[in-house]
A and B are shown apart, each in its own frame.
Chain A
Amino acid sequence: MAQTIKFTIDGVECTAKKGQYIVDAATENHIYIPTLCNIPGVKPRGSCRICSVRVNGRMMTACTTPVSEGMEIENKDPDIEDIRKAIIELMFTEGNHFCPSCEKSGNCELQALAYRYQMLAPRFKFMFPKRRLEATHPKLIKDHNRCILCKRCIRAIKDEEGHSLFAFARRGHNVEIIIDTKYSKNMTDEQAREAADICPVGAILVKERAYTDPIGKRKYDKQPIGSDIENL
């Protein structure tokens, strides 16, 4: 049996199994740490940085750092919360996010986080980048305007032999997600839906699906993101 260890988040005593990532351990202790790029059960990558917490005085990503005995974690510190809000604002200003017409609206994790963090006008100037809308794939639409480059699709979606279907191209502020034509050609409808659902925003869409849930029945219509964890 895995060894149980003790640690604290904002002074609250918590327990976890040894080797668990901070974010998972926090969830089990009903403490919400915001995430975007993390997918439970898939090897974390720490690319969005929104789950950053202060561990023994140093900023670390909660999705990639395992808990250890006696760890002191700061999560709700105002400075940390402001950095998270800034990251959300950076994502909104880096791309072209137009929530009212987005198929993912109401189910979008970025939008939900913006509500949770009460983002009004972002402190950064909108960059209005020119990005592509790609519809060459038989089953998927890739709207680069809405992509937040979290790499979820890259990490979660592989074919049966483990070939990547998605990857990163270029670098810096020019990075873009690319889709493999050869291995994604035979994607099943189920895989296509999975790809769209794994996307936290509306950057990967299934063709001919459009809006799925009526307003009022969408995931974040009635309660803010994270409240399911806090109210467990």
Chain B
Amino acid sequence: MDKTIDAIINNYNRDKNRLMDILIDTQDTLGCVPDSAAEQIADALDISKVDLEQTLSFYHFFSKEQRGKYTVYLNNSAVANMYGRKEVARIFEEEAGCKFGEVTKDGLIGLFDTSCIGMNDQEPAALINGVVFTMLTPYRVRELVKGMRKGLKVEELLRTGYGDGNNSSPLIRSAVNNHIMEKGPVLSEDYVPGDAIKKIIKLDPAEVIEEVKNSNIRGRGGAGFPTGLKWDFCRRAKDKRRFVFCNADEGEPGTFKDRVILTERPRLLFEGMAVAAYAIGAAEGILYLRYEYKYLKKFLENILDEMRSKNLLGKNIASKKGFDFDIRIQLGAGAYVCGEESALIESAEGKRGEPRDRPPFPVEKGYLGHPTVVNNVETLCSVVKVMLYGGEWYRSFGTDESTGTKLLCVSGDCHYPGVYELEWGFSVADILEMVGAENVQAVQVGGPSGTCIGPDGFERILGYEDLATGGSLIIIGPHRDVLRDIVLNFMDFFIEESCGSCTPCRTLPVAIREKLIKIIEGRGVMQDLMDIERWRFIMKVNRCGLGHTALNPVLSTLKNLRHLYLDLIQKEVEYDTGFRLDEAVKEGKLVTNRT
């Protein structure tokens, strides 16, 4: 028995619901979770080893084998590729002497791909042993690998200096930049922690919910469910042990606003969680933080301590008898689907991040079976301002259907990428002007799961009534090959990130990707386009939002940028399987020396 592992298990009270934490700590200690440790943990938690393995093998950042003394996770989002990722990756392979997906023979360097790490405004970016490296160039990569060969600490490799704002604080010390380009109610400096709490404790919880309803605020993660209504449902649940979750699993490629809020307005967020807790009657809160943002954990924990010392968290908050609420941070381990609220809860319980069947909804049966409200980072921050200035004030921003402001994450082909807090209702054209983007070919609104629009759609407005977005806006310049550089990348993303539970979501995107490649290679026919448009309905029976939207990259370009497909398909041919005899027998010909 390994005593270090046993100490880790004891740290979490030998509780199988804390399996994620146990695996993360084990991997931090040993570099991976080897079979021996897996057995020891499974035995200690009295679960079978396959139950542990189903969690372990689900998450991208867990590994049973060593992934190198220096483990490089290079972001492979579409925007990273726009900014030269391909060359950066090539130099990494050349200098390290191994391919992506491998570890060097001496075990020094491991190279791996990873889905969007929330740095789209400073790509190409990589996580090396959890430390973020941004704006990588071939030159920088050569320096990095040289430093690794010298055995430098990862922090010593970071020679670019620290980023703006709190990124340079002693507890973060990261090269990440906030790039805040426009401030509104959420990002405003005009905020004193605790003011909202002092105000709400004079109100009845039902009055707090009324005010939130009055603001008409809807969930900022992308789905747009009315926040007040969600709280109301939870408050009505019979079970008195309730939970507030903050969803900081910001995984939609091109989204990075939660990272900026967590860095610059963490007190606002935690106060928002306290407001939600007061409203629904919860004493326990969990911030589910994506693994990519682990570098913020110490800093956030320090803020939690500070708020506890100021009686803004803990027992009898702000001297209000019976208002007890505290927050712990739960790390994820790399899975986009955990951004779905029920998958997030499953993950926090130490399981695979597979979305649950509904009903029951999390507000009735959530974390550990108790009523749970899951809100996005930005939603919780906005709610604090709603409580301070009133729902009516909040409604004065935005449109009738989409009230308030939205933090937009602008990246891609423009002069000023970054975070813009704007009222809902701006047109895409307005925003393109604001961020300095010319001759734009297309804009991807809401990330891969959202909509891709061409110039004829630029007068459309951002809002739940037209173009909904969780924040991601990717600008695609005139010189890009949209199908190859963007759409194919997004399809790969969904195939990689499906949990694999529902049959259509597990299989159909793979079939559609094959069709897409066929079209890109000039073998497509009109029938292929018709097939794709017919097959989309099969995805409607998937359980969760990922499954419902996984074909959107193809479907929305087929609808809004149809000429791209029509230009590529064969005009005179009605039927083509895509099969080419010459290519199929190429290897055989080589072996037999025939031409």
Q: Hey, which bits of chain A sit against chain B, CB under 8 A? A: 44-50, 52, 59, 61, 64-66, 79, 83, 86-87, 90-91, 93-94, 123-125, 127, 148-149, 151, 161, 163-175, 178-183
Q: Are B507 and A93 in contact (CB under 8 A)?
A: yes
Partner of B498, one of A164, A166, A173, A182: A173
Q: Are B57 and A79 in contact (CB under 8 A)?
A: no
How far in angstroms is the closest Cβ of chain B from A81?
12
Question: Is B576 at the interface (CB under 8 A from chain A)?
Answer: no
Q: Bound complex: CA of A175 vs CA of B53, how far in Å? A: 12
Residues of A close to B17: CB separation below 8 A: none
Q: Are B359 and A47 in contact (CB under 8 A)?
A: no
Q: Are A179 and B506 in contact (CB under 8 A)?
A: no
Q: Bound complex: CA of A125 vs CA of B511, how far in Å? A: 7
Question: Is B58 at the interface (CB under 8 A from chain A)?
Answer: yes
Interface string of B536-567 (1 = CB under 8 A from A): 01101111000000000000000000000000
**Residue of chain B at shortest CB distance from A94:** B507
Among residues 326 to 353 in chain B, which have CB atoms less than 8 Å away from a CB atom of chain A? 335, 352
Residues of A close to B499: CB separation below 8 A: 171-172
How far in angstroms is the closest Cβ of chain A from B429?
35
Q: Are B335 and A164 in contact (CB under 8 A)?
A: no
Q: Are A90 and B504 in contact (CB under 8 A)?
A: yes
Q: Bound complex: CA of A98 vs CA of B46, how far in Å? A: 39
Q: Bound complex: CA of A206 vs CA of B46, how far in Å? A: 28
Q: Are B51 and A167 in contact (CB under 8 A)?
A: yes
Q: Bound complex: CA of A172 vs CA of B428, how far in Å? A: 34
Q: Are B511 and A124 in contact (CB under 8 A)?
A: yes
Q: Are A172 and B514 in contact (CB under 8 A)?
A: no
**Residue of chain A at shortest CB distance from B497:** A172
Q: Are A175 and B500 in contact (CB under 8 A)?
A: yes
Q: Give the residue among A45, A50, A66, A161 with the most B Cβ atoms within 10 A.
A: A45
How far in angstroms is the closest Cβ of chain B from A91?
6
Q: Is the interface of B mostly helix, strand, loop or mixed?
A: helix
Since A168-B54, A178-B53 are in contact, a sample of 16 more A-B pairs with Cβ atoms closer than 8 Å, ordered by chain A residue number, is A61-B543, A65-B359, A83-B540, A83-B541, A90-B511, A94-B506, A125-B511, A125-B514, A163-B51, A164-B50, A168-B500, A169-B57, A171-B497, A172-B496, A172-B506, A179-B50
Q: Give the residue among A59, A83, A91, A173 with the most B Cβ atoms within 10 A.
A: A173
**Residue of chain B at shortest CB distance from A90:** B507
Q: Are B48 and A182 in contact (CB under 8 A)?
A: yes
Partner of B47, one of A83, A164, A174: A164
Residues of B close to A171: CB separation below 8 A: 57-58, 335, 352, 497-500
Question: Is B587 at the interface (CB under 8 A from chain A)?
Answer: no
Q: Are B535 and A86 in contact (CB under 8 A)?
A: yes
Question: Is B388 at the interface (CB under 8 A from chain A)?
Answer: no
Q: Are B541 and A163 in contact (CB under 8 A)?
A: no
Q: Can you name 5 A-B residue pairings with CB atoms under 8 Å?
A: A90-B511, A93-B507, A163-B48, A164-B50, A174-B500
Q: Are B500 and A49 in contact (CB under 8 A)?
A: no
Question: Is B396 at the interface (CB under 8 A from chain A)?
Answer: no
Q: A125-B514, A165-B48, A168-B352 are in contact. Are A173 and B54 (CB under 8 A)?
A: no
Residues of B close to A123: CB separation below 8 A: 531, 535
Question: Is B495 at the interface (CB under 8 A from chain A)?
Answer: yes
Q: Bound complex: CA of A93 vs CA of B496, how far in Å? A: 19
Q: Are B57 and A170 in contact (CB under 8 A)?
A: yes
Would you list the 10 A-B pairs with minimal beta carbon distance, nearest first?
A: A167-B50, A175-B500, A52-B541, A64-B357, A167-B54, A180-B50, A172-B498, A180-B48, A163-B48, A90-B507
Partner of B508, one of A46, A66, A90: A90
Q: A125-B514, A171-B58, A175-B506 are in contact. Are A49 and B542 (CB under 8 A)?
A: yes
**Residue of chain A at shortest CB distance from B55:** A167
How far in angstroms is the closest Cβ of chain A from B475?
29
Q: A86-B535, A86-B538 are in contact. Are A178 and B511 (CB under 8 A)?
A: no
Question: Is B49 at the interface (CB under 8 A from chain A)?
Answer: yes
Q: Are A164 and B48 in contact (CB under 8 A)?
A: yes
**Residue of chain B at shortest CB distance from A158:** B48
Question: Is B11 at the interface (CB under 8 A from chain A)?
Answer: no
Partner of A172, one of B495, B504, B511, B538: B495
Residues of B close to A183: CB separation below 8 A: 48
Q: Are A87 and B504 in contact (CB under 8 A)?
A: yes
